[in-house]
Amino acid sequence: MELIPVDDHIVAIDHELLGTPGVGVSYLVRGESAALIETGTSLTVPQTLAGLARLGVPPEAIEHILCTHIHMDHAGGAGYLAAALPRAAVYIHSMVGQHLVDPSRLLPSVRRAVGEEAWPLHGDILPLPAERLRAADGLRLDLGRGVTLEAIATPGHSPDHLSFLDHRSGGLFIGDAAGITMDRWGLAFPVTPVPSYDLEAHRATIARLRAMGLPRLYVTHFGPHDDVAFQLGRAAERLEQLVALVDEALAAGDADVAALAARWLPYPDDGPAAVVARSWSQMSVAGMLRYTTKRRQGG
């Protein structure tokens, strides 16, 4: 577990998502009260709690847990974190909050999406008591000392995806809205997962973010980035590369997801981030194939 200073009121906790450093963070944001943004999976919760302890933040000091969307690497640890942080409410888009209270449908969906190789790295979901759940859409959360977090709809990667604007720094906690940028592992690409990926919404979200003039992105996978124009431009470019790859594959009658993913994102067969690269690239190719096929069929 590594602590990454981000700003005078923000620290990133590398909770070693999927068993690998440099893949996922939870952000601690402090004003007069404190919030965590992103939970990681259930398996990352001990690392996040250890990070809070190292920072001298007692469990009762965390009053808010904000999730950008329902995927397990962003919200799967919510129930366990809520149990360990007794005063914290959990915020997520109202269209998906029920899946944290009753995760029975979410778990098999995630397993299908990430594949059997990566599935054991995702842990489980502890059902969240309904009274701890809050709707994040439309949220404007005043933490005091000039620290305010505002939810902004950023759909595409998933329909429920929200980003959170930090009005003090001007930076945006972006979740997966523009993809991943994991410099330690040389991985940077948009993630386009099944079952509810929406290309047109994704394109519109990236275009909107590019027009906002943001000074900084706080990326869940991974860390703060000041080169905003470069990151968003690369995300748009890599997205169109994936669109072209899938269009060509469908024209050729080629639906070999693993082979297409290896063409789009060449990756080593071993090493700490290999499972992440395989799972997320194949998930993205499968998502774009499904989206494109459904659109062509009028679905």
Q: Which helix (H) or strand (E) holds 8?
A: none
Which tens digits make up the pLDDT trace of 249-274? Answer: 999 998 899 999 999 988 887 888 89
What distance lies between CA 30 and its chain's CA centroid?
Answer: 21
Alpha-carbon distance 232 to 204, whole Å? Answer: 12
Q: What is the pLDDT of residue 251?
A: 92
User: Residue 269: phi, psi to the nearest 5?
Assistant: -80, -15
Q: Global pTM?
A: 0.95
Q: What is the pLDDT of residue 254?
A: 83
Answer yes or no: are the C-beta atoms of 166 and 10 closer than 8 Å. Answer: yes
Domain topology for 2-296 = Metallo-beta-lactamase; Chain A (3.60.15)
Structure letter (DSSP) for residue 23: S
State which residues of the chain have pLDDT below 50. Answer: none
What DSSP assignment string belongs to 72-95? Answer: HHHHTTHHHHHHHSTT-EEEE-TT
Which tens digits make up the pLDDT trace of 145-155? Answer: 999 999 999 99
Q: What is the pLDDT of residue 255?
A: 85
Q: What is the pLDDT of residue 299?
A: 56
- Report the half-sphere exposure of 93 (CA within 13 A, side-chain side): 19
Answer yes or no: are the C-beta atoms of 201 and 157 closer than 8 Å. Answer: no
Q: Which amino acid type is present at position 1? A: M
The residues, ordered by sequence, that sit 6+ positions from 36 with a Cβ below 8 Å of its Cβ are 26, 27, 28, 29, 48, 62, 64, 65, 66, 81, 85, 88
Residue 67's nearest CA partner among 30, 93, 28 is 93
Structure letter (DSSP) for residue 46: H
Q: Which helix (H) or strand (E) holds 212?
A: none
Q: Which residues pair with 140 in a beta bridge?
A: 150
- For the chain, domain boundaries: 2-296
Locate 76 and state its tokens: 């799967």
Alpha-carbon distance 45 to 16, whole Å? Answer: 10
Q: What is the pLDDT of residue 131?
A: 98
The residues, ordered by sequence, that sit 6+ positions from 51 with a Cβ below 8 Å of its Cβ are 1, 3, 11, 13, 15, 26, 28
